[in-house]
Structure 1
Amino acid sequence: MKVLWRRVILDEAHIVRNHKSATSMAVSALKGKRRWCLTGTPVQNKDLDLFALLKFLRCTPFDDLTMWKKWIDNKSIGGQERMSTVMRCILLRRTKVQLQQKGQLACLPDRQAHLEEVTLTKEEMNVYQKVLVFSKTLFAQFLHQRAEKQADGALTSSVKNSAYDKMHKRMIALQGAKPVKSHEILVLLLRLRQVCCHCGLIAAMLDEDTADAVAEDAGQDLLAELNKLSLEDGNRRKSRNKEEEEDEGPELESTTAAEAIRSVLSPNNPVFELSRMSSKISAVMNCLRENVFANKDHKAVVVSQWTSVLRLVEAELEKERIKNVTLSGSVPVPARPPLIDAINNPKSNVRVMLLSLCAGGVGLNLCGANHLLLLDPHWNPQLEEQAQDRIYRVGQTKPVHIYRFMCVDTVEQSIRTLQQAKLELAENVLTGARNTNASKLTIEDLKMLFNMGPS
C-alpha cells in the first residue's frame, strides 16, 4: 500500500463489481498516478456495477457511494444524463462489430447464432407442470404475506395494538401457515430450470446418499411437499366427454388431484432415471451429430452452469465413443492447460469440451473449437457472452456457430426475456443512451416467470 505506482491496470475489472468485496476494496486502496480498467463487460447486472470501477479509478465525486446514489443512481432522467456524460468522458470502447465495420478485423470468420427450441415430452411436461403448480401456490402465499406486511406497516400504532389486530394474528397462527421466504421462491425457480434439462436432477434430492442432496439442503424436501399438496378437483377439473367418463369408470373418477401428483412425482417414475435421455440432452446430441461429428475438422464446446448436466452429456458421448474432456471449477489450475491443448490441437482426437459456465467465463482461448452449445440460460447474460468469446476471437479460422437450447412453454423463455433486458441495459449505459431500466429481479419479474401475469 506504501508503493506509489506509475500506472495500475486492472484487467478483467468486472470481477470487482461488488464494491463491498475484499478484492474491490484492496485494489481501490492501491496508489498510482494513472489507473486503468480493462473489461469487456463493465455492466453485468445493474448500474451499481459501474460504481466499483469508478471507485477504483477515483473518479471524484462519483467514487463516493453517497454522491453516487444522490446524483447518478437516483432513478431520474438527470441521473441517467449524468451517467451518460461520465461514460462518454472516461470510456474507450472497441467492440468486434465496430472494428469489423472499419475493416480492422478482417481475420475473424463469420459467426451465426441458432436458437434450438426443445419440446418436452408428455411425461417431462407433467413433472414440470406439477412443480409449477406448487411454485405458483407458494408464490401466491408469498405475495399475500407481503401485502399483509405492507398493510400492517401502514397501520397506526393504536390500530396495531387493538383487540381486532391481536385476534387477527392469533387466527393466522392457528392456521399453521409457515411464512414463505424469498430464497424459497428462488429455489423453486432453480428446480423448474433443472427440470428443463432433466427431471432426474430434482429427483436426486430425495437420495440422501448423494452429494447433491447434501449440497442442496434448501430444496431437499421439495418433492415431499409436492406430494402433500392437495388441489380441489371439483370445479377445477376439466370437463371430459361422455366416452372418456364411461371408459374410466367410477374408480378413476374418484382419483384426487393429490394422488395424480404423487404418481407423477414418485421417485419410481422412469422419467426421473438419469440413465434415460431427456429431451434437451437428446437435442444436444442430435446437434453434435449433424454439425460436429459429421465434419472431421470441427470441434465443439458444450456449456452449462451445472456440472450435473455436463455429466449427463458426458455419459452420452461415452456411449458413442466420442473423446471429450471436462473443464469445471473442480479442475485444479495446473491441470487445465492440457485440457485446453487437447481441444485446440487439430491432431488431437478430442472432439468435445464440456465447460462449466463460471469456470470458462474469462481467460480461455478455445479457438480449436468452432461450435458452442449453450444448454441452459443464466440469470447473467454477460457470462454467456464471455463464453462465446472463448471460441470467437482472433486466431479462429473456421466459421463459428452458437447454439442456444431453450425449452418451449417453460421458464427458460421468460429468463431469456430478462436476459435481453439486461443486455439492453448494458448497451444503453455503454453507448450513453439516456433511457436505462433497473435490472434487479422484481416482483413483476417473478410473476412473469411463474406465468402469473405480464411483467
Structure 2
Amino acid sequence: MFQQGRRIMNPVLIISYETFRAHSAILTKSPIGLVICDEGHRLKNSENQTYTALNALKTQRRILLSGTPIQNDLLEYFSLVHFVNGGILGTAAEFRKRFEIPIIRGRDSSASPAEQQLGNEKLNELASVVNKCIIRRTQALLTKYLPIKIEQVVVCRLTPLQIELYKMFCKSNNIDELGAKDESDLKLSNSTLSAITQMKKLCNHPELIYDKCVKKEKGFENALKLFPSNFDIRNIQCELSGKMAVLDYLLAAIKANTTDKVVLVSNYTQTLDMFAKLCVLRRYNYVRLDGSMTIKKRGKIVEQFNDPCSSDFIFMLSSKAGGCGLNLIGANRLVMFDPDWNPPNDDQAMARVWRDGQKKQCFIYRLLSTGTLEEKIFQRQAHKKALSSCVVDNEEDVERHFSLTELRDLFTLNENTKSDTHEKFKCKRCVNNIQVKPPPEDSDCTCDLSQWNHCADKKNLVDPILKAVWSDTISFVYHHHSHVEQRKTV
C-alpha cells in the first residue's frame, strides 16, 4: 500500500466496512489522500465502531455518497455532516439544542405559529451551513429513462379473527404498560418491541402467532379458542387474513390476465414460508431468497428469474437479505407485504423491479392493515420523509399531518375507519372519503401522500388488475405515478 521510488503510484484500496473495521489498527497508521464512503448512511451513528474507525483515518478529504442521509432522525444527519466536515455543526449536544429540537417541534401538526416560524428559521439556518459541503441529486434525473411506475398503497381490513386477537392482545397487561414516553422516535423497551413484532405478525396472518397462542404466552392466554375448528398450521388459509386474501386474488388475476412476473417482499421469513404454501396450493412456480442463501447461489437464481424463458412466476424476497442491490427486472410487479420502520428500507426493496433495464410498466403494491399498528408505522414513515424533504431537499410548504402524541399512540385499533392515515390527513380534496379534486398536476409518487389519488372505491383506480380484485376486504387505496411519459415528436 505504501510505495516509494521515481514513479510513485497512487494506490486505491477498495474495502468493505466490515473488513476495514477488522483491520483499522493497521490502516489508520499512515496518511490517506482521499476517503470515499459509498452507502454513507452506514455512518449515521457517530458512536458505532465503524464510524469511530473511519474517523480515525489521517485524511483531510472525505466524501460520503448516500441517497438517504436522513433515515430516522436529525442526529443521523449530524453524524454524516460531522464526518466529512467535523465541527461545522458543533457538538451533538449543541446541534440538538440549536437545530433538532426547534425543527422537530416546528414540524409537529399541533405546533403553534411561533414554533412553526422558529422551526422554519432553523431549517433555513441549517441549510445555509450544510449546503457548503453537500451536493444533492435525486432520482428525478433518471426517471425519464425508465418506464412509468404506478405505486399503490392498498389498505386491507382485518378479518373477524384478526380483530378479536388484536383486541385481546391490546387489552392484556402486556400492552397497558407499553408506549414511548419521550419525543425520541422508537427508543422503546425490549418488551415493547416484542409486542410490536407480535402485532405486525398478526396483521400478516394469525398463523404467525399460533405458536404463542398454543403456549398461552402473555396477551394470548385465551386466544386458541378463537381459531376455527378446521384450522391446520400445515395448510395456508388465506381467508383468515385480510392482506393474504387480497394477495391471493391479486396473484390469481395477474397470472390469468398477464404475462407479468411478481416479486413478493416481507420483513419476516415466516411470512415467506406462508407465501411458499400459497404457491404450492395454487401451483405457482417460485424462487426464494433470504439470509440463508450464499452469494453465489443468489446470483444464479436472480439470473434464472430474469430470463424471459423462465417459468418462474414469483420471486420471494426477505427485505433484510435482498432489499438492496438486487436487479429483478424480470418482474414488473412487486408486493410489499408489510412496512418497515425505516422508510429507505421499503424504498430500496420497492426499487428492485423499477430500475435500469426494465422495459415494462411497473406496478408496486404496498399492503397495510386498516386502522392497525401498520398504519401507524406508515404514518411515521411519512413524518420522516417530510422531515427529510425539509432538511435535505430544502422543500417549502411541506404538510404537517401528525403530532408526536399521535405517532406515539401505537397500540390503538381504529375499527371504524377506511384508513386511519386518511383521517389524520384531514384531506381537503375529499368529501365523505370521495375525492372531488384531483392531485396537483406537478405531483407524483415522490410527493406527500396527501397529494396522491385517494380511492374509497374502485372507480378512480388506474391499475386494471387491482380494479378487478377490488372487494370488501379493501377499504382504501392511495395511488400515483412516477412521471408522465414524454411523447416522441417526429
Q: TM-score, normalised by structure 1?
A: 0.71
1:46·1:438 contact (CA, 8 Å) conserved in 2? Answer: no
**Distance in 1 separating the partners of 2:101 and 2:160:** 48
- The residue that corresponds to 1:273 in the other structure is 233
SS of residue paired to 2:354: coil
- Structure 1, residues 36-83: CA drift from partner, whole Å, max 9, x if none? 111111111111111221232134332643443343334363543332
Matched, 1:75 2:102: yes
- The residue that corresponds to 1:173 in the other structure is none
Higher helix residue share: 1
The one of 25, 40, 51 equivalent to 1:13 is 40
SS of residue paired to 1:4: coil
- Structure 1, residues 286-332: CA drift from partner, whole Å, max 9, x if none? 21221256323x21111100110011011111223322111112222
Alignment CA distance shift 1:91-1:291 (3 Å) = farther
- The residue that corresponds to 2:133 in the other structure is 90
2:379·2:407 contact (CA, 8 Å) conserved in 1? Answer: no
- Structure 1, residues 119-140: CA drift from partner, whole Å, max 9, x if none? 2322232222222322xx5444
| Greater gyration radius | 1
**Distance in 1 separating the partners of 2:177 and 2:281:** 46
- The residue that corresponds to 1:318 in the other structure is 280
- Structure 1, residues 102-131: CA drift from partner, whole Å, max 9, x if none? xxx532100001233322322232222222
SS of residue paired to 2:363: strand
Matched, 1:329 2:291: yes
SS of residue paired to 1:95: coil
Deviation at 1:401, TM superposition (A): 0.5
- The residue that corresponds to 1:55 in the other structure is 82
**Paired AA for residue 252 in structure 2:** R
- Structure 1, residues 220-267: CA drift from partner, whole Å, max 9, x if none? 82255x43xxxxxxxxxxxxxxxxxxxxxxxxxxxxxxxxx66327xx
- The residue that corresponds to 2:434 in the other structure is none
Alignment CA distance shift 1:451-1:129 (3 Å) = closer
**Distance in 2 separating the partners of 1:441 and 1:27:** 37
**Paired AA for residue 126 in structure 1:** E
Deviation at 1:388, TM superposition (A): 1.6
- The residue that corresponds to 2:208 in the other structure is 201
Alignment of 1:115-126 (within 5 A): 115-126=153-164
Alignment of 1:340-355 (within 5 A): 340-355=302-317
1:300·1:372 contact (CA, 8 Å) conserved in 2? Answer: yes
Matched, 1:289 2:252: yes
- Number of residue pairs matched? 366
Between 422-431 and 58-67, report the one with greater CA deviation: 58-67
The one of 394, 410, 414 equivalent to 1:432 is 394
Between 345-354 and 304-313, report the one with greater CA deviation: 345-354
**Distance in 2 separating the partners of 1:46 and 1:407:** 26
SS of residue paired to 1:343: helix
Gaps of 5+ in 2: 1-27, 104-117, 183-187, 415-419, 425-490
The one of 86, 90, 110 equivalent to 2:148 is 110
**Paired AA for residue 290 in structure 1:** A
Identity %: 26
- Structure 1, residues 397-418: CA drift from partner, whole Å, max 9, x if none? 1111100112223222222222
Alignment of 1:130-149 (within 5 A): 130-134=168-172, 137-142=173-178
User: Which aligned runs of 4 or more in structure 1 are off by greater than 4 angstroms?
Assistant: 268-272, 433-444, 451-455
The one of 215, 218, 221 equivalent to 2:217 is 221
Alignment CA distance shift 1:308-1:44 (3 Å) = same
> Aligned Cα RMSD in Å?
3.3
Q: TM-score, normalised by structure 2?
A: 0.67
Between 192-201 and 301-310, report the one with greater CA deviation: 192-201
SS of residue paired to 2:197: helix
Alignment CA distance shift 1:31-1:347 (3 Å) = farther
2:167·2:413 contact (CA, 8 Å) conserved in 1? Answer: no
**Distance in 2 separating the partners of 1:19 and 1:344:** 39
Matched, 1:415 2:377: yes
**Distance in 2 separating the partners of 1:73 and 1:16:** 19
2:213·2:224 contact (CA, 8 Å) conserved in 1? Answer: no
Deviation at 1:442, TM superposition (A): 5.9
2:175·2:411 contact (CA, 8 Å) conserved in 1? Answer: no
1:305·1:378 contact (CA, 8 Å) conserved in 2? Answer: yes
Deviation at 1:396, TM superposition (A): 1.2
Matched, 1:188 2:226: no
Alignment CA distance shift 1:286-1:47 (3 Å) = same
Alignment CA distance shift 1:395-1:4 (3 Å) = farther
1:123·1:271 contact (CA, 8 Å) conserved in 2? Answer: no
- The residue that corresponds to 1:230 in the other structure is none
